[in-house]
Amino acid sequence: MEKKNHCIVMVPSPGLSHLIPLVEFSKRLLSFQRENLHVKFIVPTLGAPSSSMKSILNNSLPPNSSFIILPQINIEDLTEKSDPATQMKETVKHSLPFIHQELTSLSSTNHLVAILFSVFSTDVIDLASEFNLLTYLFFASGATLFSFCFHFPQLDQDADDSSKNSLLELTDPVHVPGCSVRFQVKDLPDPVLFDRSSEVYKSFLAVVKNYSLVDGVIMNTFTDLEPDAVRALQQEHNNNIGEKNVPFVYPIGPIIQSETSNEVNKLECLTWLDNQPPRSVLYISFGSGGTLSQEQLNEIAFGLELSGHKFLWVVRAPSNFGGSAYLSQQKEDPLHYLPSGFVERTKEQGLVIPSWAPQIEILGHGSVGAFLSHCGWNSTLESVSHGVPVIAWPLFAEQRMNAVLLKDVLKVAVRPEANEDGIVKREEVARVVKGIIEENEEGLKMRKRIKELSDAAAAALSENGSSMKALSSLALKWQNI
């Protein structure tokens, strides 16, 4: 009888920032060339798959892997239509019958070993026991955020004991085990700032309570980036007492793309960068879905012009919600929303690109001196890996926590100050751009520090590095089941 493949099932949450790290993880996992190991992506979707998603799935998956895109979930079927995190969770929950169907089909021809799922796909745990699968949370962010999420039920209980309707009523900064700084409540992830009786808050609480049910957590970080947080989680696992299960953590990062699969705007961006002086260009991008208000878009434009420094800016159409392009594609031409005459006036100073640019190649280019970033974790790891200091400009989700980590813990970022209306004015934009590009004393320290972290990232991924050892132990465990 022919030996069945050992099959690892991967269920990303909707959105590119969850799919990309899982795809890159699968490449690294299968690079060990374990015999009879196969990876199957089961991809829930809210609305039509984007061209970027199709490109990644069709062109970037490694050998010994395959995918299926599940039937689309209609946004009208969701109870919460405004919060992206809750949308993602509900999309996966509505997709469970389709996931069950795929697992049934796979089990007839494969030896199913484990199911990996992203942070908002934890409802698939309910299917794992039926198919006798090990369960692994693929946490595409870092150890500090995971520590906050894992311990969040206790913070919720404390708020309940003190009759708080919202965590915004808390006055003291929040301690996260394994982190040397405390977080202001306003910098915590968006869902926890809702009223505690809201569906958004309750959905987030339900998700993080599931984290104690998994067999392990695969984490997109590396030990030298967050040593205290990783150590604290490992110690808690080793000291598991009573009913509280702290799963074993596998820090296997940084997992980032090595090259961009989408060719859109690539030639134009790289040709332009080739003609700029070393470390002279500020790259500006707010990730795969971040958006700004019209007023803030104008202030950045005027601030860049005022700074006099080179820039490469990925522009999206404005929105009053910072993540409006995350789960849906924009159709407008974003350049129409820039101040009148801006593109013409700055044509010798900068390059404006609509909607999308090849970020990996840009950050790896010698002309780039800094990155104005929304501080999504993928972008954070990419800036660290390429040794590019950051102007931290968080918009939504957990990005404010990442910004605090970059600025106050890792000390590789500056964070511009907003006015009382939450707008960063053009003078402040110009100030931080000049400070980081012109390499004042603070800028030089940041550049030295991020170079050290870049070297540490490379070391973690070397043959005997900490991340490769963690991944090797995990692959061997699966192979022997």
Q: 280 and 406 share a domain?
A: yes
Q: Which two tokens stand for residue 44?
A: 């829930």
Residue 80 pLDDT = 78
With respect to residue 196, please indicate whether it lies within any of the assigned structural domains: no
Using DSSP, how many helices (H) and how many strands (E) does the chain show?
A: 17, 13
With respect to residue 12, please indicate whether it lies within any of the assigned structural domains: yes
Residue 52 pLDDT = 83
356: alpha, beta or left? (left if phi > 0; alpha if psi -120 to 50): beta
Strand order in the sheet with 413-414: 350-354, 310-315, 281-285, 368-373, 390-392, 413-414
Q: 211 and 343 share a domain?
A: no
Q: 289 and 318 share a domain?
A: yes
Q: How many domains does the chain have?
A: 2
Q: 450 and 468 share a domain?
A: no
CATH number at residue 130: 3.40.50.2000
Q: 248 and 354 share a domain?
A: no
With respect to residue 472, please indicate whether it lies within any of the assigned structural domains: yes
With respect to residue 325, please indicate whether it lies within any of the assigned structural domains: yes
Q: 439 and 474 share a domain?
A: no
Residue 1 pLDDT = 43
Q: 317 and 241 share a domain?
A: no
pLDDT per position in the chain (481 positions), as tens? Answer: 456 789 999 999 998 888 999 999 999 999 876 677 899 999 999 988 888 899 899 989 999 999 999 999 988 888 877 788 889 999 999 999 999 999 999 999 999 999 999 999 999 999 999 999 999 999 999 999 999 999 999 999 999 999 999 999 999 999 999 999 999 999 999 999 999 999 999 999 999 999 999 999 999 999 999 999 999 999 999 987 655 688 999 999 999 988 887 788 999 999 999 999 999 999 999 998 889 999 999 999 999 999 999 999 999 999 876 655 554 555 678 999 999 999 999 999 999 999 999 999 999 999 999 999 999 999 999 999 999 999 999 999 999 999 999 999 999 999 999 999 999 999 999 999 999 999 788 889 999 999 999 999 999 999 999 999 999 999 989 988 8
Residue 62, Cβ density class (10 Å: 0-12 exposed, 13-18 middle, ≥19 buried) = middle
Q: 79 and 9 share a domain?
A: yes
With respect to residue 156, please indicate whether it lies within any of the assigned structural domains: no
With respect to residue 30, please indicate whether it lies within any of the assigned structural domains: yes
Q: 420 and 472 share a domain?
A: no
Q: 127 and 78 share a domain?
A: yes
Return the amino acid letter for 86: T
Q: 302 and 436 share a domain?
A: yes
In angstroms, the CA 409 to CA 226 distance is 9
CA torsion through residues 10, 251, 178, 389, sign: negative
| Structural contact between residues 322 and 291, judged by C-beta atoms closer than 8 angstroms | yes
Total-model pTM: 0.94
Backbone phi, then psi, for 139, in 5-degree steps? -95, 100
Q: Which helix H or strand E contains 218, and what residues bound it?
A: strand 216-219
| Structural contact between residues 125 and 214, judged by C-beta atoms closer than 8 angstroms | yes
DSSP string of 31-86, one letter each residue: TT--TTEEEEEEE--BSSPPHHHHHHHHHTPPTTEEEEEPPPBPGGG-S--S-HHH
With respect to residue 130, please indicate whether it lies within any of the assigned structural domains: yes
Using only the alpha carbons of the chain, give its radius of gyration: 22
The residue segments making up the domain with residue 75 are: 5-144+201-253+463-479
DSSP string of 295-346, one letter each residue: HHHHHHHHHHHHH--EEEEEE----SSTTTTSSS---S-GGGGSPTTHHHHT
Q: 205 and 345 share a domain?
A: no
With respect to residue 454, please indicate whether it lies within any of the assigned structural domains: yes
